[in-house]
Amino acid sequence: MSDESVQDVHAPTGTTAEVMSTPQTLVSIFFEPAETFEALRIRPRFLIAGLLTVLLFMAYYVTFVSTVGSENMIRAQIESRNPDAPPEQIEQGIRIQSSPVVKAITYASFPLVFAIIFAAGAGLYMLGTMMMAKSMTYKQALAVWAYSTYPTMVVFALINIILIFIKGKDEIDPTALNAGLARANLGFLVDPKAQPVIGTVLRSFDLIQFFGLFLAAIGLRKVAKLSSGSTWAIVLAIWVLGIIFRTTLAAIFGTAM
């Protein structure tokens, strides 16, 4: 049974919140986030918003790779991780990562990776809510995560796709896939290739990411009926955990995340 069509059994009766269709929620989340999350509390849904998030990221990824060139991007990534890599090792890495099988696995992994992130994020929201002596269903937690992620991906993808077309191949850093081309964070203060850990931390102070945190705080406050202080404590705690996780990866792989 689809999450788009079933009334949540935990929804309170007698509520005055407006019931919204899925298309309405996908648009109103940008203009009326509080009202949208009120509607999602009664009828939580996440599937379409999640799928759109994946498709938007894939559109950005394809645009970036097709403009920069997969070989240039792979070469830059290898040289960034291992500046002393011999030419033979670089060429071998390019051949492996450029193979049709690896490319197919890469594209197929996007939905799986996002599904894991959404599932884990919703679990963290539920855990944080329980620690604040409140509760919400897992489906409601998924709705909050999906509808605080989807708008940020819309903004991120649109801005960066436009910048890709404006800049063109010669002006794009082949290693800028993860961070994007928009200078919306503090990552420009250091050379991420020379200082990947610090670069990862600075990249976390990102305006687009803060937009998502703002939406998540509204969503938790409306759906779980938490106070503003409690919602921001949960949201910021998860944000810090994300920074720790990414900086650990940056330290291991030698590449800013």
pLDDT digits (tens, 9 = 90+) for 222-242: 999 999 999 999 999 999 999
159 has pLDDT over 90 = yes
168 has pLDDT over 50 = yes
Confidence bin at 17 (pLDDT 50/70/90): low
Sequence spans of domains, the chain: 22-253
Confidence bin at 7 (pLDDT 50/70/90): very low
Kindly give, in sequence order, each residue whose CB lies less than 8 Å from that of residue 193, ignoring residues fewer than 6 positions away: 80, 175, 256
| Amino acid 156: pLDDT | 94
Confidence bin at 169 (pLDDT 50/70/90): confident
Confidence bin at 2 (pLDDT 50/70/90): very low
Structural contact between residues 174 and 61, judged by C-beta atoms closer than 8 angstroms: no
Q: Which two tokens stand for residue 236?
A: 């910021």
Confidence bin at 96 (pLDDT 50/70/90): confident
Structural contact between residues 203 and 179, judged by C-beta atoms closer than 8 angstroms: yes
| Amino acid 9: pLDDT | 40
| Amino acid 3: pLDDT | 46
Q: What average pLDDT is seen over the chain? A: 85
Mean pLDDT, range 53-59, rounded to an integer? 95
Spatial CA neighbour of 19 closest among 30, 31, 4: 4
| Amino acid 189: pLDDT | 80
Neighbours of 198 (CB within 10 A): 18
| Amino acid 6: pLDDT | 40
Classify each residue of 112-134 as buried b or exposed e, where b means 16 or more C-beta atoms within 10 Å of its C-beta. eebeeebeebbebbbebbeebeb
248 has pLDDT over 80 = yes
| Amino acid 117: pLDDT | 94
HSE, CB side, 13 Å, CA atoms: give it for residue 190.
Answer: 14
- The DSSP annotation for the chain comes to --TTT---TTPPTT--PPP--HHHHHHHHHH-HHHHHHHHHHS---HHHHHHHHHHHHHHHHHHHHHH-HHHHHHHHHHHH-TT--HHHHHHHHHHHTSHHHHHHHHHHHHHHHHHHHHHHHHHHHHHHHHTT----HHHHHHHHHHHHHHHHHHHHHHHHHHHHHH-GGGS-TT-TTT-SS--BGGGGS-TTT-HHHHHHHHTSBHHHHHHHHHHHHHHHHHS---HHHHHHHHHHHHHHHHHHHHHHHHHHSS--
d(CA 215, CA 172): 30
Q: Is the pTM of this model over 0.75?
A: yes
pLDDT, tens digit, 9 for 90 and up, residues 110-137? 999 999 999 999 999 999 999 998 889 9
